[in-house]
């Protein structure tokens, strides 16, 4: 596979000779430069697999250029050429990270062999890094736990679109698993062996977010004591997850739009445009349409982000996933706390199924973690999950007998039990006022009244 090679030497005849040797015998692309200072500028704009540099040059010697290569393009291999072949020179070059050195004058076969060995070594190192990163990411990636039609449909779509380069916007309430969905997109993509950079737009103060994203030059502002690489630079060729994108200022939205559209940006304090190839995934729990109407979010940025969109359902909209998630978290926190807990009592599961979960999966996980810590047996009880509310124990939502019934009968029994318990709780909260209860839960008063009559519920008992 052809590679890109940068050759730096202050002697133009040597540059011409090396270009001819490499291009006559290989398909590699060669860029030459006789000024090492200009070579560093080239490396900031273009990527190279291999840099071949002379050791003795005016303005900047080969050792200093080697340091610059390792700073700007640390993955590039470096070969140092010298007419002063000493052990000290070789040791210094290799100690600082050079792959090899070549003494001038050299034979054509020698330079071609060294180039091939350097590129082969680099390919092997890249494969090893990618393999280690892939293994680490697979270990750190939490499994997507879902059996509901809503979530399995989303997972199927994620697998389908992940291999594209399109920007993706994930919307949903807090705690629904937006970052997990972003990691799934990354894992199924062709960039899974490249960096995955997470940017929490809420956590980074507005005053420094531009510097964090794009980097800065020394002296760009008070406290900028050194040059700094930005997260965009680190994410080059990989994936960047912009969490809580709705919290970005309008000024930062404009700068973000530029890199999304053109792939270009400028570090703070720099006049030089840099380029990055990044697949962006963004997420928010806010209503971006409302923010656009309020002039707090750019409409053009929204359309650029929302090339492919996902809306993650709230946990209350996919209750069939609750038992699966609950048992997963029990297993997870039992191992972390070195406990042998194997099950959740039916009464406790009934509470989990009936709860509204405003914090969604994150809230469910926290409740299960607390339950595991408090549990002193092999089954989590209602008291473990809700120790502060054991004096107001709800009637069972499900019981063991339900599992002995045919599916249709069990479903009808569960719905009937749900109707009765839910309506009684709503009436109690609204002190028997049917109109107010209907408005609270989003039902027509006539329909609620019909359920009350069918379930033989006495609304008067809740009036005070």
The pLDDT value given to residue 127: 64
Helices (H), 167-249: 178-188, 209-214, 231-234
Instruction: Please choose, from the candidates 281, 330, 322, the residue with its C-alpha nearest in 3D space to the C-alpha of residue 169.
Output: 281
The answer to whether 409 touches 423, Cβ cutoff 8 Å, is no
Residues in the chain: 464
Q: Tokens 């956590």 label which residue?
A: 203
Q: How far apart are CA 59 and CA 26, in angstroms?
A: 31
Instruction: Please choose, from the candidates 266, 235, 223, the residue with its C-alpha nearest in 3D space to the C-alpha of residue 44.
Output: 266
Taking the domains of the chain in order of start, what are their residue ranges?
Answer: 4-128, 149-313, 316-392, 400-462
Fold assignment, 149-313: Rossmann fold (3.40.50)
Question: Does the CA dihedral 453-454-456-461 come out positive or negative?
Answer: negative
* Angle ∠(37,40,42) on CA atoms, nearest 5: 115
Chunk the chain into consecutive blocks of 10 residues (it has 464) and report each block's average pLDDT, rounded to whole numbers.
Answer: 88 92 90 92 89 89 89 88 67 80 85 90 70 52 72 91 94 94 92 92 87 91 85 93 94 93 91 93 95 95 95 91 89 93 84 88 94 92 77 48 66 75 81 85 84 80 69
Integer angstrom CA distances of residue 161 from 156, 178, 186, 284, 289: 9, 16, 10, 19, 24
In CATH, which of 1.10.10.10, 1.10.3720.10, 3.30.2130.10, 1.10.8.60 is domain 316-392? 1.10.8.60
The pLDDT value given to residue 140: 47
Within 10 angstroms of residue 357's Cβ, the number of other Cβ atoms is: 19
The pLDDT value given to residue 158: 93
Q: Are strands 279-284 and 168-171 parallel, antiparallel or unpaired?
A: parallel
Integer angstrom CA distances of residue 58 from 34, 63, 123, 188, 259: 10, 12, 32, 49, 37
The answer to whether 194 touches 234, Cβ cutoff 8 Å, is no
Please tell us whether the domain made up of 4-128 is placed in CATH 3.40.50.300.
no
* pTM higher than 0.75: no
Whether 4-128 shares its CATH topology with 149-313 is answered: yes
Integer angstrom CA distances of residue 245 from 44, 118, 308: 28, 42, 15
Instruction: Please choose, from the candidates 123, 138, 119, the residue with its C-alpha nearest in 3D space to the C-alpha of residue 183.
Output: 138
What dotted CATH number matches 400-462? 1.10.10
Q: Which residues contact 227 (CB under 8 A, 6 or more apart)?
A: 215, 216, 217, 218
């Amino acid at each position: 596979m052809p590679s890109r090679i940068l050759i730096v030497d202050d002697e133009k005849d040597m540059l011409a000779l090396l270009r001819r040797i490499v291009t006559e015998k290989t398909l590699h692309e060669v860029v030459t430069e006789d000024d090492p200072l200009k070579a560093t500028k080239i490396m900031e704009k273009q990527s190279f697999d291999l840099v071949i540099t002379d050791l003795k040059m005016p303005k900047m010697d080969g050792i200093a250029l080697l340091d610059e290569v390792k700073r700007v393009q640390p993955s590039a291999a470096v070969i140092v050429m010298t007419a002063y072949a000493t052990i000290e020179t070789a040791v210094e070059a290799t100690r600082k990270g050079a792959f090899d050195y070549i003494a001038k004058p050299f034979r054509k076969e020698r330079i071609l062999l060294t180039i091939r060995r350097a590129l082969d070594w680099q390919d092997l190192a890249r494969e090893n890094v990618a393999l280690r990163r892939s293994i680490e990411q697979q270990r750190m990636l939490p499994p997507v736990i879902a059996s509901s039609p809503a979530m399995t449909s989303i997972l199927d779509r994620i697998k389908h679109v992940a291999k594209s380069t399109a920007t993706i916007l994930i919307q949903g309430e807090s705690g629904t698993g937006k970052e997990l969905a972003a990691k799934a997109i990354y894992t199924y993509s062709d960039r899974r062996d490249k960096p995955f950079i997470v940017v929490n737009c809420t956590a980074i103060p507005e005053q420094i977010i531009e510097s964090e994203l794009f980097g800065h030059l020394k002296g760009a502002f008070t406290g900028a004591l050194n040059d700094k690489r930005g997260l965009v630079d680190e994410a080059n060729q990989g994936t960047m997850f912009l969490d809580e994108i709705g919290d970005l200022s309008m000024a930062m939205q404009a700068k973000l739009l530029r890199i999304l559209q053109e792939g270009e940006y400028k570090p703070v304090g720099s006049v030089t445009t840099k380029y990055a190839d990044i697949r962006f995934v963004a997420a928010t729990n806010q209503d971006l349409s409302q923010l656009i109407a309020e002039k707090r979010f750019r409409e053009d940025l929204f359309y650029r982000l929302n090339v492919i969109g996902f809306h993650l359902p709230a946990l209350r909209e996919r209750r069939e996933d609750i038992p699966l998630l609950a048992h997963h978290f029990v297993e997870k926190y039992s191992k972390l706390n070195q406990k042998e807990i194997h099950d959740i009592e039916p009464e406790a599961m009934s509470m989990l199924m009936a709860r509204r979960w405003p914090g969604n999966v994150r809230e469910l996980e926290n409740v299960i973690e607390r339950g595991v810590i408090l549990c002193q047996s092999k089954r989590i009880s209602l008291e473990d999950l809700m120790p502060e509310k054991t004096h107001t124990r709800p009637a069972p939502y499900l019981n063991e007998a339900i599992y002995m019934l045919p599916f249709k009968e069990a479903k009808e029994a569960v719905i009937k039990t749900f109707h009765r318990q839910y309506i009684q709780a709503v009436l109690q909260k609204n002190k028997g006022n049917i109109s107010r209860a209907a408005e609270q839960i989003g039902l027509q008063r006539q329909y609620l009244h019909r359920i009350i009559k069918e379930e033989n519920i006495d609304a008067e008992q809740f009036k005070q």
